[in-house]
Amino acid sequence: MSEWTANSRIYGSAWSTPELLGIFADEPRTRAWLEILAVLAEVEAEHGLIPKKEAAKVAAACRKTAVDEAFLDEVAEGYRETGHSTVGLIEAMRKRCPGASGEWVYYGATVQDLTDTWLMGALKEARALLDADLEGLESALEELVRRHRDTVMAGRTHGQQGLPITFGFKAASWLAEVRRHRERLAQIAPRMEVAQLCGGVGSLSALGPDALKVQRAFCERLGLQQPEASWTVSRDRLAEWANLLVLIAGTADRIGHEVYNLQRSEIGELSEGFVTGTVGSITMPHKRNPEIAEQLGALSRVVRANAQIVNESLVHDHERDGRSWKSEWHAIPELTMAAGKALNLLRKMVETLTVHPDRMRANLETTKGYTLSEAVMLALAERIGKQSAHQLVYDAAMRAIEAGTPLKEAIAKEPAIAEHFSAQEIDKLFDYANHTGACGALADRILKTGK
């Protein structure tokens, strides 16, 4: 990782949460690796693969070793000298195991047995953190939908005002996506919670005649499932995880992008909650920038880019290919931390989001009623037929646009149209709240499906 990413003491908080960094950083990862090696020694001793007394010493050494700066430096130096992923760790632990017990460290296992098993345990912890933020986000969105079920605003297509909708309806679409992501997280769990103990080519050849029993005990002791076969070159589980996080981060980016646009000075319908002391610009003191919304976009790009690396890892040579699975060591933690940070920020943004109904109404009014031309045409169609109604409203609208006249005024002054409506009916036709269609009902339906 570079000095700008999650490990940075200055900028790390932009790319991860403390909880996720507490899973993927060197110290917690190495502690978890040592616990896996301790369990491996104990299980192998129970099945007669290594001496019980020596295994107990290995397990004790693994659990009492202080994973401090000195230890990490020693392991790192071993990697630099050998170029092998775990020789530095093995040698460091061999020195710390009393007597000859160090000969039995890491017996019968290979790098991916350790790293893949750790990764699946780490992602199990990460899923719980992500789901907690999704749950909080779901609750915040439910409240937003209820509060603004009938808050009228412009629905926009192709960047232009189209027809009136409600903000509750817009937020309900966000809510529905978040709920689907929670379903997906639950559905992926059984496929992800699988350990790895398969040896060099996946045949378990070093684990003796009871190899499958050893494997099962090892997996169960670590709270993971036994794999049906080696998955050292079968990385679909991790590709599924990466692409699920693309979907989740994509929702965060979509919501953030909408807030970014609706917070524009010219629109001003939404704004991120302002925290006193936040600085938007060091040159323009008045600025209140959409900081969270922009960061959601940056984090989502990090997730998508790293997911592509994981997708490349679907293709391996034969029974082992370091080009593929070693690239996951970079991509999986990066995209998991970025997605987790995105969810954490999105939850905060939604919980503190400021909605400006007056600006929503004012922006609708800037169209001078032309977004209601469909409603006028449909009402007139009930009395004179659709084609005739369309032509009359079209002609009146074109003339009014040329003259800079509001549509309501043009309709009231057009005899061929006005004769079919009373003044009260025309007023009703030009009340935006009467033309949001099924927005309220759809928002209610989405709220109800969550119960």
Q: Which candidate, 194, 313, 183, 330, places its Cα nearest to that of 247?
A: 183
- Amino acid identity of residue 422, one-letter, is S
Highest mean pLDDT among 1-10, 121-130, 274-283: 121-130
CA 11 to each of CA 14, 17, 166: distance values in angstroms, whole numbers, following the listed order: 6, 11, 38
How high is the pLDDT of residue 397?
92
From residue 12, give the alpha-carbon distance in Å to each of 71, 224, 249, 397: 23, 30, 18, 56
The predicted structure's pLDDT at residue 12:
86
As a whole number, mean pLDDT of residues 277-286 equals 46
pLDDT > 90 fraction of the chain, expressed in percent and rounded = 88
Give 215-232 pLDDT, tens digit per residue: 999 999 999 999 999 999
Provide the pLDDT confidence category of residue 277 given band limits of 50, 70 and 90. Answer: very low
Q: Which of 158, 265, 286, 422 is catalytic?
A: 158
Query: What would the pLDDT profile of 362-418 be if each residue is shown by its tens digit?
Result: 999 998 998 899 899 999 999 999 999 999 999 999 999 999 999 999 999 999 999
Write down all domains in the chain, each with its CATH number in brackets.
Answer: 12-104 (1.10.275.10), 111-356 (1.20.200.10), 364-449 (1.10.40.30)
Q: What is the mean pLDDT of the chain?
A: 93
Handedness of CA 158, 163, 164, 167 (dihedral sign): negative
User: Residue 10 has what pLDDT?
Assistant: 86
Contact 335, 250 (CB under 8 A): no
64 has pLDDT over 70 = yes
For the cut 80, the answer to whether the pLDDT of residue 286 exceeds it is: no
Residue 5: pLDDT band (50, 70, 90) is confident
Tokens of 321: 């290919």
Q: How many C-beta atoms lie closer than 10 Å to residue 299's C-beta?
A: 28
Q: Quick check: is 281 catalytic? A: yes
Report CA torsion sign: 237, 240, 242, 245.
negative
69-73, 322-326, 412-416: which is most confident: 69-73
CA–CA dist 408, 190 (Å, integer): 60
**Residues near 437 by beta carbon (within 8 Å), at least 6 away in sequence:** 163, 165
- Give the pLDDT mean for 294-298: 97
47 is catalytic: no
Tell me: the pLDDT tens digits for 85-134? 999 999 999 999 999 999 999 999 999 999 999 999 999 999 999 999 99
- Catalytic-role residue among 234, 281, 330, 388: 281
- CA 162 from chain centre, in angstroms, equals 30
Q: What is the pLDDT of residue 324?
A: 85
**Per-residue buried b or exposed e for 312-340, using 16+ beta carbons within 10 Å of the residue's own CB:** ebeebeeebeeebbeebeebbbbbbbbbb
How far apart, in whole angstroms, are the C-alpha atoms of residue 161 and residue 272? 22
Q: Are strands 354-355 and 152-157 parallel, antiparallel or unpaired?
A: unpaired
